[in-house]
Amino acid sequence: MNRYHYVLKIYLLEQIDNVMFWVCIIGPIFFALLEVYALPHAIRSLNEIFSYHIDVFHYAGAFDSFIAIFTAMNVGYAGVLVMLDERDTGIAPYLCITPLGIRGYIITRIGIPVLCSIVFIFILIGLFNLSNPELLSLVVYALCAGAFGMNAALIVFTFAKNRIEGIAMTKIVNIFIFALPAGVLLSGYVSLPFLWIPTFWIGRYAMSLQLSDAAMSLLCSCLWTMVLSRRLHTFNS
């Protein structure tokens, strides 16, 4: 445990001077403020201009879940880009052969930051939200988003060979966010192509508040983690 604490301490000290880390933290706060204070007024203005009637609060849970997913993915990206930097500089293989091991290395770089993001999401959505979620919903949003944030970071880490490719991969992985509105708006056979994506079930939960949807999101995330973990043996190659 002491070796994990030591490596995590070094990681956090490095992040203090990392601009990307602060962008990944401040970004979700900025979007959460926009969601709460700007979005309702913007929708109201559009309704008046075009004579539409869009009830933004009907989809309030979806907007809150988007902030949760966005936060988890950004925190995960901050950790994985540090790992890719260490891979580029040749430091990573030496960290993996220490008593920490590759598993401990990944835990300190991705796992613990994602756990911190769960707490961060819980606080952020609790303070800034449109749906006024209950405590259980806050926990579900945080856990499901955090699990997918782990998936997003692992996808980048396993498929990118360097930081440049990692940045490009983050853009590709962001496409999975679009499964969220699919979960909100689609049903029946047209939703079948999205059933394997965790964010689809988060969108379903945002509208239904059924724990079965949250369980499906966590199940998909676990399956993704198992599949991606099988590729981690290539890390030292």
How many other CB atoms are there within 10 angstroms of residue 3's CB atom?
A: 13
Give dist(CA 76, CA 111) in Å, integer.
Answer: 8
Comparing 212 with 5, the larger pLDDT belongs to 212
Q: How many CB atoms lie within 10 A of CB 174?
A: 14
Give the pTM: 0.86
What is the reported pLDDT for 69? 95
Please provide the distance, in angstroms rounded to a whole number, between the alpha carbons at the two ends of the chain.
Answer: 27
| Radius of gyration for the chain, computed over Cα atoms and rounded to the nearest angstrom | 19
pLDDT grade for 230, boundaries at 50, 70 and 90: confident
pLDDT band at 215 (very low <50, low <70, confident <90, very high): very high
Task: Locate 185 and state its tokens.
Answer: 């708006």
The per-residue pLDDT for 10 is 63
- 216 versus 27: which is more confidently predicted? 216
| pLDDT for position 40 | 83
What is the mean predicted confidence (pLDDT) over 147-170?
89
How confident is the model at residue 236, as a pLDDT?
47
Question: Which residues are CB-contacts of 142 (< 8 A; sequence separation ≥ 6)?
Answer: 68, 118, 119, 121, 122, 125
Please state, rounded to an integer, the average pLDDT across all residues of the chain: 84
Average pLDDT over residues 145-163: 90
Two structure tokens written together for 212: 């079965």
Res. 198: pLDDT tops 80: yes
Question: What was the pLDDT predicted at 134?
Answer: 92
pLDDT tops 50 at residue 106:
yes
pLDDT reported for residue 136? 94
- The model's pLDDT over 36-93, given as tens digits with 9 standing for 90+, comes to 888 888 887 877 777 777 777 788 899 999 999 999 998 888 888 888 887 777 776 6
Pick the more confident residue, 3 or 136: 136
- The phi, psi pair for 186, rounded to 5°, reads -100, 155
Sequence-distant (6+) residues with CB within 8 A of 84 are: 156, 157, 160, 162, 163, 165, 166
Least confident span in 109-113, 139-143, 179-183: 109-113
Q: From the centroid of its chain, how far is CA 91?
A: 26
